[in-house]
Amino acid sequence: MTFQIVIFAVIAAVLLFQLYNVLGKKVGRQPEDNPKPAPVSVIPNGAQEAPRGPVLDPAMTAAIAGLKARDPNFDPNRFLDGARQAYETIVTAYARGDREALRPLLTEKVMGSFDAGIAARETRGEAEVVELRHPPRADLELATVEGDRAQAKVRFLAEVRSTVTPAGGEAVTDERRTAEVWTFERRLGASDPNWALARVEPATA
């Protein structure tokens, strides 16, 4: 779908607020409370073995079973490993303005929003570098199938260090804690097995 640039700007403002201005919120669980090993792939459906994950409640177990009935290759532990890497890649690539790295990881709508945000930053002449202090904590909160579309929500907790250098100015560094829910989706039966980021929301404490 083609959007007018003003719509891009509005959506971008909302997403950027969620990605960055919501950051800094302290929540009960912190990333270092349950550190994870470095992720190994971007949300694959491949056969690489992943470490055993936390015990899931009955509702989530039933939801995963429903998704696996439509997509037998879905494994929540492998999915979360890939989701962590996707999170880090998306956050750092957006800061760099790396559109090519972002494109395969985002839905068309989200890519349009991110592209508008990058363009606005380029117009201002700003440069930004983002680092994750620890591997993000990722918890699967929802796994559903609607028609031929699979959807999964992941709650991320992370510590982010952001350094912004304005045009002709001095760099300013800010360290924040993030608490967000990212929604990933993929079309069942598609040739591309990877998931794409479809939505970002602030997480509740």
Question: Which helix H or strand E contains 119, and what residues bound it?
Answer: helix 108-124
Rounded to the nearest 5 degrees, what angle is found at the Cα of 196, between the Cα atoms of 129 and 17? 45
Q: What is the mean pLDDT of residues 161-180?
A: 94
Q: Could you give the percent of the chain with pLDDT greater than 90?
A: 58
pLDDT in tens, 23-43: 344 444 444 454 443 333 344
Region of 94 please: left (phi>0), alpha (psi -120 to 50) or beta: alpha
Residue 93 has pLDDT above 80, yes or no: yes
Closest CA to 128 of 175, 166, 169: 166
pLDDT at 17: 42
Of 14-18, 157-161, 200-204, least confident by mean pLDDT is 14-18
CB 86 within 8 A of CB 197: yes
What mean pLDDT, rounded, does the chain reach? 80
pLDDT in tens, 114-149: 999 999 999 999 999 999 999 999 999 999 999 999
Give the CA count within 13 Å in the CB-facing half-sphere of 19. Answer: 23
Closest CA to 177 of 30, 46, 43: 30
pLDDT in tens, 188-198: 988 888 999 99
| Cα 61 from chain centroid (whole Å) | 22
Write the secondary structure of 52-113 as one string of H (helix), E (strand) and C (coil).
Answer: CCCCCCHHHHHHHHHHHHHCCCCCHHHHHHHHHHHHHHHHHHHHHCCHHHHHHHECHHHHHH
